[in-house]
């Protein structure tokens, strides 16, 4: 029996070259950005004092569709919509050191397709359901079903309150 390696980590499968938008971008600009780059969502960032991208929120196609519908169909006289006004603030985030089994649990139990990867509020990358599937499938193929007797159970308490924990 082969000794099991530690579970695969987010850092091994995340995309570290992430397209981002700023909170000042208009709704129309964000929609055009998503369409031009063929993205289903995008992090909203501002640069901190060191020039690193600080994550402020996350915008999905669904968020843009809701804002566009509200603005165009209902003729809402609200001020101009921006990335900052339509983003979901305080998104669920993961760290590069989280294992993929913990992240799989989030994707299984929530409708998220992508999660921002952060460290101390700085955007490090993004990980998708497909990235996690690829990583776990590789792990499964490496060890086979018979050898996966040992389980790496995440601490669900840490998962549920992850965004509130300072590391």
Domains of the chain in start order, with CATH, are: 10-164 (3.10.580.10)
Provide the pLDDT for residue 77.
60
**Predicted pLDDT of residue 42:** 97
Q: For position 163, what pLDDT does the model report?
A: 55
166-to-36, 118, 144, 162 alpha-carbon distances in Å: 36, 12, 36, 9
pLDDT of residue 76: 65
pLDDT of residue 158: 60
pLDDT of residue 160: 60
The pLDDT score that the predictor gives to residue 1 is 39
Q: pTM of this prediction?
A: 0.79
**Cβ pair 95, 101 in contact under 8 A:** no
The Cα 43–Cα 123 span in angstroms is 8
Tell me which residues of the chain have a pLDDT lower than 50: 1-2, 167
pLDDT of residue 7: 83
């Amino acid at each position: 029996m082969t000794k099991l390696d530690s579970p695969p980590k987010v850092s091994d499968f995340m995309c570290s070259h992430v397209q981002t938008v700023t909170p000042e971008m208009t709704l129309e600009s964000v929609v055009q950005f998503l369409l031009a780059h063929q993205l289903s969502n995008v992090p909203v960032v501002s640069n901190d004092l060191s020039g690193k991208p600080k994550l402020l929120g996350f915008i999905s196609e669904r968020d843009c569709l809701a804002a566009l519908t509200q603005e165009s169909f209902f003729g809402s006289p609200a001020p101009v919509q921006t990335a900052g006004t339509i983003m979901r603030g305080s998104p669920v985030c993961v760290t590069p050191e989280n294992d993929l089994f913990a992240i799989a649990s989030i994707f299984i139990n929530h409708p998220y397709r992508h999660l921002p990867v952060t460290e101390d509020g700085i955007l490090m990358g993004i990980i998708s359901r497909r990235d996690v599937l690829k990583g776990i499938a590789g792990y499964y193929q490496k060890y086979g079903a018979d050898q996966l007797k040992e389980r790496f159970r995440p601490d669900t308490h840490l998962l549920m309150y992850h965004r509130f924990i300072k590391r």
